[in-house]
Amino acid sequence: HLSSLPQTQQMARLKRITPAGIPQHIIQRGNNKQACFASEDDMKAYLKWLTDFANKYKVNIHAWVLMTNHIHLLCTPTTNDGIGKMMQSLGRMYVGYFNHTYKRTGTLWEGRYKSSIIQSERYLLSVYRYIELNPVRADMVTNPSEYSWSSYNFNALGIANNLITPHQEYLSLGDNEKTRREAYIELFKTQIDNKLLSNIRQNINKGLALGNQAFIKEIEILTNARVSSRKAGRPKKNVK
């Protein structure tokens, strides 16, 4: 029974999994909520290395946002270890740059990045919106198009961005770029349901999958790892 296991064994059950071909929502925060970007030059440097390492390790980036003290990515790896290698290389390069630039030492990030596997057909476009609406929820702007450091202006307005590889769910919004962008803008005219907002946040903080029960079962069989929450306590006996 999971709740009776030592804590180290319980934690081992939730090992990070990044199966090829399945989208992941990633978040990485600054240590103690401190700023990890202090200037536009910092953001440009981060995006340059993100592009380089995404290409090197064959990870497709669909959506992203850089906030003052954290980042969000929506991406799909083409290999099982692509995301881990990308994030490790990116983190090492950027922390070295940041420490050198600001004459500091020590850690920058709050431990390892967090991630959540996403069921494409059911939740992917909601996670696109969740990521690109971060600056709006933070009261930094009133419309996501007003914020320069996200993928919104590519996905909604077609402004060139060599970092982005559109996901098939995005491409399915229309037969051509114009109709896709129009449909994408329409998605942002309705708010994300509060329950879904909560689910997205909880699942990424706990490293769980965001999907229906059939999807979760499929992932757990595929990876032999747990990606859903388990309620504490003994299972109820069947009442006859």
Q: What is the pLDDT of residues 22-32, one digit of tens each?
A: 999 999 999 98
Residue type, 209: A
- Check: CB of residue 88 under 8 Å from CB of residue 172: no
Structure tokens, 31: 């240590």
User: Pick from 135, 137, 115, 132: which is nearest to 59 by CA?
Assistant: 115
**Which residues, 6+ apart, have CB-to-CB distance to 84 below 8 Å?**
16, 18
Q: For position 219, what pLDDT does the model report?
A: 81
Beta-ladder partners of 121: none
Q: For position 220, what pLDDT does the model report?
A: 82
Q: For position 198, what pLDDT does the model report?
A: 95
Query: Would you place residue 108 in the very low, low, confident or very high pLDDT band (cuts 50, 70, 90)?
Result: very high
Q: Measuring CA to CA, how many Å separate 28 from each of 5, 108, 128, 164, 189?
A: 29, 10, 16, 19, 28
- Farthest CA pair distance, the chain: 69
User: Pick from 187, 161, 162, 164: which is nearest to 174 by CA?
Assistant: 187
Burial grade of 179 (CB within 10 A; 0-12, 13-18, 19 or more): exposed
DSSP state of 75: E
Count CB neighbours of 148 within 10 A.
Answer: 13
The share of the chain scoring above pLDDT 90, in percent, equals: 73
Count CB neighbours of 223 within 10 A.
Answer: 17
Quick one: residue 71, left, alpha or beta (phi over 0 = left, psi -120 to 50 = alpha)? Answer: beta
Alpha helices in the chain (DSSP H): 7-13, 40-56, 82-101, 120-132, 134-137, 152-155, 168-171, 177-187, 194-206, 213-223
pLDDT at 20 over 90: yes
The kind and range of the H/E element at 26 are strand 24-29
Q: Look at the block and give the residue holding tokens 């596997």.
A: 117
